[in-house]
Amino acid sequence: MCGIVGFTGRQSAAPVLLEGLKKLEYRGYDSAGIAVMDGKSITVNKVRGRIANLCEKTKDGAKVPGTTGIGHTRWATHGAPTEENAHPHLSNDGRFAIVHNGIIENYLSLREELTQDGYHFLSETDTEVIVHLLEMYYRGNVRDALIKTANRLRGSYALGVICSEEPGKIYAVREASPLILGVGIDENFFASDVTALVNHTRNVIYLEDGEFAELSDTSIRIFDCSGQEIHKKATRVLWDVQAAEKGGYEHFMLKEIMEQPGAVKATLAPRMKEHGVEFEELTGLLPKLPSIRKILITACGSAYYAGCAGKYALEHLARIPVEVELASELRYSDPLIDESTLLIVISQSGETADTIAAMKECKARGAKTLAIVNVVGSSVATLADFAVYTWAGPEIAVATTKGYTTQVTVLYMLALYFADHLNRIGEEKARLQEALQAMPRRIQESIDMNANIPALARKYHKAKALFFIGRNTDYAVALEGALKMKEISYLHAEAYAAGELKHGTIALIEEHQPVIALCANPSIMEKTLSNMVEVKSRGAEVLALTFRNNQKILSVADDLLFMPEVDPLFSAVMEIVPLQLLAYYVARENGCDIDKPKNLAKSVTVE
């Protein structure tokens, strides 16, 4: 995700900004830039790619005079990762430069209004509307212009601003995107997170939503959204840089599990409208929708299992047959595909070789292609006829968590969106829309309901094998749950359709064999319950995942994982969370390298 830094003091700003941006590199980015003010002139330098390119361009900042400035690492969301789209962005009159971390949800209407008012846009970003609003509202007082601008914005923003009319000052504005002030001696800072500050100062002030600050070398003034000055105490950061990168969590994977409510919300929010789900990026697909006879989903790894989970909602709501195929198989299977096929390609990185190859094969046979990706401008996104982005932010841990849950979230929204535009949805639409809107809160409940998982991990972490069983939507989640366990704890884990036990696997059940039974789908709960009894009668220990009040399951299970009671059509996003946590704590008990499991890569770009 993007990162911003700001500095004002007595020393040259550019080297300080570059060093701060390097500390934010771990967050993932695809372009970078700095704006430095020397007296009344602002110089902007920005590059596509790595900060090293920016260091080379500015000779590590030596070429850029001035003791005040702002900097940015960009994780592309709106607009490809190009130099034009990189921050900082300048106002047309050159007075203002800004950097931004977040998403401005109403940027299209603001862009239209500003364009009509004669402002000229140089980039495709949502961010650029901010700097033109500042110019439009500026009447000699930057604080007033900031307040008026912030009142027009909807969405999330951590903003850094400099104005050539106020040499030596930097401004920071926070709304739903972290922003921290660093309190120095004859110098002050701001940054998206403490990793960029701790080398200069451990005295920090955490801005809260709606607050903004005016910093000079010797003063920090903080205001609320009405412009009323407020006093906030500095706190002392005790973290080291490594811990700070993980937000205080021990591993990136745990941090990313905890980020899922926010990641799913960021993926949902811009598309959930009063009247229903809207995908601006898919309007070109709508006229073709009635001619689609088959949806084929293809991907690898967890992305494939996301497809397995989304299939049920797509078929049930859109009433279009859905097949899900491994990309590594599809590419060699001489698939029956033509113009009436919609290929949905799922990929977090957008660079998985098998997925790209399968996609090319299907395109060559006439399929329309819709990509669900997390990396803007990636190969899969570029190759597709239509690209829908998950807004999970960069995922650092090799084993995906928020990547998977945001992919499934997009599939759920597509199911409603297609059904709506095909007039195949009735009065259940409002209920399902609410269920989607509630998912971020329900994911948090799934996290909060399972404080017992570290203890369960201590009980099961030496198991020779773990069986995950479930039916229908539960089975789809069992597949991903078993993969999580294998990937990071190295225990053998296998997902099985519960109804298939009697056709083979039950032969493997022996005394104390752990079986994880997923019971979140009421329509087939009784069947899975009888499977639990079957395996228990052969000595298995059953760890059931179900709702709190599900007495029948509770009375049979030996151990329990909980999730909130949700519509089974949209349950995978909540149901997978306890299984992610179980895999995490089992791996932790086994002393595994959780963020970088042996033999695995975050994206397999070769066959």
Q: Which residues bind ligand BG6 (CB under 6 A)?
A: 300-303, 347-349, 352, 355, 398-400, 600-604
Q: Which of 459, 602 has the CB closer to ligand BG6?
A: 602
As a whole number of angstroms, the distance between CA 359 and CA 241 comes to 41
- Report, in Å, the least distance between residue 389 CB and ligand BG6: 13
The least distance separating ligand BG6 from the CB of residue 601, rounded to whole angstroms, comes to 5
- Of the pair 19, 595, the CB lying nearest ligand BG6 is at 595
Non-local (6+) Cβ contacts of 500 within 8 A are none
Least Cβ distance, residue 306 to ligand BG6 (angstroms): 8
Closer residue to ligand BG6 (CB): 50 or 602: 602
Going by the DSSP 8-state scheme, the letter that residue 217 receives in this structure is S
**What does residue 296 show for φ and ψ, rounded to 5 degrees?**
-115, 120
Are 72 and 30 in contact by the 8 Å Cβ rule? The answer is: no
Of the residues 2, 55, 300, 592, which is catalytic? 2
Cα 564 from chain centroid? 22
Q: Is 2 a catalytic residue?
A: yes
Q: How far apart are CA 513 and CA 532, in angstroms?
A: 12
Q: How far apart are CA 366 and CA 339, in angstroms?
A: 5
Rounded CA-CA distance 104/111 in Å is: 11
Q: Which two tokens stand for residue 308?
A: 């397995």
Query: How far, in Å, CA of 477 to CA of 495, rounded?
Result: 9
Q: Which is nearer to ligand BG6, 1 or 54 (CB)?
A: 1
Smallest distance, Å, CB 301 to ligand BG6? 3
The radius of gyration computed from the CA coordinates of the chain, to the nearest angstrom, equals 26
Residue found by looking up tokens 């932790």 in the block: 588
d(CA 224, CA 231): 10
* Closest distance of CB 401 from ligand BG6, Å: 9
Cβ–Cβ under 8 Å, residues 89 and 76: no
Residue 388, H or E segment: strand 386-389
Q: Which is nearer to ligand BG6, 422 or 600 (CB)?
A: 600
The residue number with the shortest CB distance to ligand BG6 is 301
Cβ atoms of residues 332 and 298 within 8 Å: no
602 is catalytic: yes
Rounded to a whole number of angstroms, the minimum distance from the CB of residue 594 to ligand BG6 is 13
How far apart (Å, rounded) are the C-alpha atoms in residues 75 and 380?
A: 17
CB of 311 to ligand BG6, least distance (A): 17
**Residue 102 φ/ψ region, left for φ over 0, alpha for ψ in the -120 to 50 degree band, beta for the rest:** left
| Cα separation, 481 vs 545, whole angstroms | 11
For residue 283, the SS3 value is coil
Q: How far is the CB of 353 from ligand BG6 (least distance, A)?
A: 9
What SS3 state is found at 7?
strand
Pairing between β-strand 368-373 and β-strand 386-389 as defined by DSSP bridges? parallel
Least distance to ligand BG6, CB of residue 600, Å: 5
Judged by beta carbon, residue 31 or residue 355, the one nearer ligand BG6 is 355
Question: What φ, ψ does residue 526 adopt, rounded to 5°?
Answer: -60, -40
Q: How many CB atoms lie within 10 A of CB 454?
A: 15
Contacts of 179 (CB under 8 A, 6+ apart): 4, 101, 158, 159, 172, 173, 190, 191, 192, 207
Instruction: Select 220 or 303, whichever has its Cβ closest to ligand BG6.
Output: 303
> Which CB atom, from 162 or from 346, has the smaller least distance to ligand BG6?
346
Q: Under DSSP, is residue 183 helix (H, G, I), strand (E, B) or coil? A: strand
Both tokens assigned to 241: 């840089």
Rounded least distance, CB 348 to ligand BG6, Å: 4
Nearer to ligand BG6, 332 or 502 (CB): 332
Q: Looking at beta carbons only, is 58 or 349 nearer to ligand BG6?
A: 349
The catalytically annotated residue of 363, 527, 596, 602 is 602
Report how far residue 488's alpha carbon sits from residue 201's, in angstroms, rounded to the nearest whole number: 36
Neighbours of 345 (CB within 10 A): 30
Could you list the active site residues?
Answer: 2, 602
